[in-house]
Structure 1
Amino acid sequence: MVFKRLLGAIGVGGPAVDTVLDGGAVSPGGSLSGEVRLRGGGAVAEIGHIVLELVARVESEHEDGESEGLLPFERFTVGGGFRLGEEEERSVPFRVTLPWETPVSELHGQPLGIVLGVRTELAVAGAKDKGDLDALAVRPSPVQEAILEALGQLGFAFRSADLERGRIGGTGQRLPFYQEIELTPPPRYAHAVNEIELTFLATASATEIVLEADKRAGLLTSGHDTLTHFTVGHDDIAGRDWNTEVDGWIRQLVEHRQSYGSGSYGSYGPYADPDPYAGAHTGHAEPHGGHRAGGPGMGTAIAAGAAGVAVGVVGGMVAAEVVDEIGDFFEGDDEEAWDGGGEGEDEG
């Protein structure tokens, strides 16, 4: 993973930056390592700082419809405060820790259509310039993988994944967006639900699993969404019958009629960590998956009928046009920042 950028902010002959990430996908809460390679230009340059910025392409709903943009969600200062000589070459190694809520972008090597990137910011003599994007690959944590494997073995099939700006009320969410993984149900649940939406919200000690069922309308009832959530400790994985346990979560979700906001929680109880955004939740009536009316956005449409979430988790291939779209995004010089259109909505 390499990108190079001649810093336009300081003109022709300025320093060049080449950031190299160590190969392989990283899990949420894991270490991302590599090095920033600098080459001096035609004059001595004062390097104020070197910052790595994690960005994600996020969808947002607002009054004018939907929009997409790059949303920064973490910054790391990895070097700076030195003089770079003319034509001098210098390497700055780094190792940083990904946020625990970092979205999953691939599953068993299969891309999910999620766009994540690392961008380098170099400050030279007071001027700042942001380098090109480099794709960031994130694999599931052990807890996430165990749950996804169980869903796959229970017959759920991967449909799509996207990132939504906003917060899910009543959870310990910390990032300004959340990931939704949409699954189609097996025959035994297909009569009751159209799809299941899964969101992981993790901290250093546990992972909160938010499940939503898009319920089918009945003869005398209208269709509606129901939500519930469960919490699993990172060290509480071994020795559990995950297929039976996850199937119990799904049955509970399908059977109960209470809304998420009413305080109905799963067998592991509500997540206990304090929510730093407490008081910011609006509790709007829009369901957790309300974006579906507009259809999946850029980078989220995955081939319909993908054969299951696990032991082939995404058993089918990601649609070719999605892979091409993601590749074009990182190969180009897409500096599109969030356009400010809408602040996203809280999921109550």
Structure 2
Amino acid sequence: MSFFQKALASIGIGSAKVDTVLHQHILSHGNLVEGEIVIKGGNVAQTIDNIYLRLHATYEKESNDRTYTESCVIDSFLVGESLEIGANEQKTIPFSFPLSIYTPFTLGKTKVWISTGLDIKNAIDPSDQDYVEVQPNALVNKLLSAVSELGFQMKQVECKESSYKRNGIPFVQELEYVPVSGSFYGKLDEIELSFLTVDDKLIELVVQVDKKARGLGGLFAEALDLDERFINVTIKDEEKNIIKQQLFNMVQTYS
């Protein structure tokens, strides 16, 4: 192994490369993320100190009257340590991990991806990233169907920075709905569903009910945000058949 080859590997030329192959790119909460990490040796043998996977998502952040897109790490996993990879050698490492309950849906502008990294001393660390689609699972779809059946239509979806941090996650995903028919048409401006945690057996969210302003008092209340009500809601899988009635009763109480 020549000094020249080592020097080239240290700047990424002829160094080891990594490629992550996911078994499935469409996921829902309650699923395992499964795949293989393929490491291909370069022109020289190298020692890999750590192999890690990180789950990322984008969110919107406001600063100085500007809105811009940020990203954060939702979860991270150490897959392997102290691995020797010879010149031109190939090694495959299988992995699986549960999709984090804090992962947002890839609705609107939200993007979710998995990055793979190799820590190699005295070299540029090889990396790879793979985008995934995160869809609502059966329990969430039951909730969203109930919202639609009550006469609400989705207006927009955003992952927004929040002062309320769950497990260090700096954003909350909000699904905004406006009434277009049914009992709440003309009574409410909108409702927002802010998802805190999602699994296939349980959902935790905050429902914001925004009443429609009526008269001068209503206008003052709207200006001071006094017309908004925030309700903490937990929905369990065994309650899925009564979600619509529960949602109606709750919104009716605060509208």
The TM-score normalised by the length of structure 1 is: 0.62
How big is the shift at 1:216?
2.6
Number of residues of Structure 1 aligned to a counterpart in Structure 2: 238
Aligned in 2, Cα 1:131/1:214: closer, same or farther, shift over 3 Å?
farther
Aligned in 2, Cα 1:61/1:215: closer, same or farther, shift over 3 Å?
farther
1:150 aligns with one of 134, 143, 146: 146
Task: Give the Cα–Cα distance (whole angstroms) in 1 for the partners of residues 203 and 163 of structure 2.
Answer: 16
Task: Give the Cα–Cα distance (whole angstroms) in 1 for the partners of residues 29 and 163 of structure 2.
Answer: 19
How big is the shift at 1:130?
6.0
1:114 aligns with 2:117: no
Please, what is the CA RMSD of the aligned residues?
2.5
How big is the shift at 1:146?
1.4
Task: Give the Cα–Cα distance (whole angstroms) in 2 for the partners of residues 121 and 253 of structure 1.
Answer: 49
Task: Give the Cα–Cα distance (whole angstroms) in 1 for the partners of residues 243 and 164 of structure 2.
Answer: 25
Aligned-partner residue type, residue 117 of structure 1:
W
Aligned in 2, Cα 1:9/1:218: closer, same or farther, shift over 3 Å?
farther
Q: What are the ranges of 5 or more consecutive residues in structure 2 without an aligned counterpart?
A: 1-7
Cross-structure match for 1:232? 235
Aligned in 2, Cα 1:182/1:128: closer, same or farther, shift over 3 Å?
farther
Aligned in 2, Cα 1:43/1:166: closer, same or farther, shift over 3 Å?
same
Task: Give the Cα–Cα distance (whole angstroms) in 2 for the partners of residues 126 and 163 of structure 1.
Answer: 38
Aligned-partner residue type, residue 170 of structure 2:
P
Task: Give the Cα–Cα distance (whole angstroms) in 1 for the partners of residues 158 and 117 of structure 2.
Answer: 26
- What SS class does the counterpart of residue 184 from structure 2 fall into? helix
- What SS class does the counterpart of residue 134 from structure 2 fall into? coil
Does the Cα contact within 8 Å between 2:193 and 2:208 map onto a contact in 1?
A: yes
Aligned in 2, Cα 1:230/1:127: closer, same or farther, shift over 3 Å?
same
Does the Cα contact within 8 Å between 1:40 and 1:88 map onto a contact in 2?
A: yes
Does the Cα contact within 8 Å between 1:44 and 1:84 map onto a contact in 2?
A: yes
The structure number with the bigger radius of gyration is 2
How big is the shift at 1:155?
2.4
Task: Give the Cα–Cα distance (whole angstroms) in 2 for the partners of residues 156 and 217 of structure 1.
Answer: 18
- Higher RCO (C-alpha under 8 Å, 6+ residues apart): 1
Seq. identity, %: 28
Task: Give the Cα–Cα distance (whole angstroms) in 1 for the partners of residues 10 and 149 of structure 2.
Answer: 53
Does the Cα contact within 8 Å between 1:144 and 1:200 map onto a contact in 2?
A: no
How big is the shift at 1:91?
0.8
Aligned in 2, Cα 1:150/1:219: closer, same or farther, shift over 3 Å?
same
Task: Give the Cα–Cα distance (whole angstroms) in 1 for the partners of residues 22 and 159 of structure 2.
Answer: 23
The TM-score normalised by the length of structure 2 is: 0.83
Cross-structure match for 2:211? 215
2:174 aligns with one of 166, 170, 180: 180
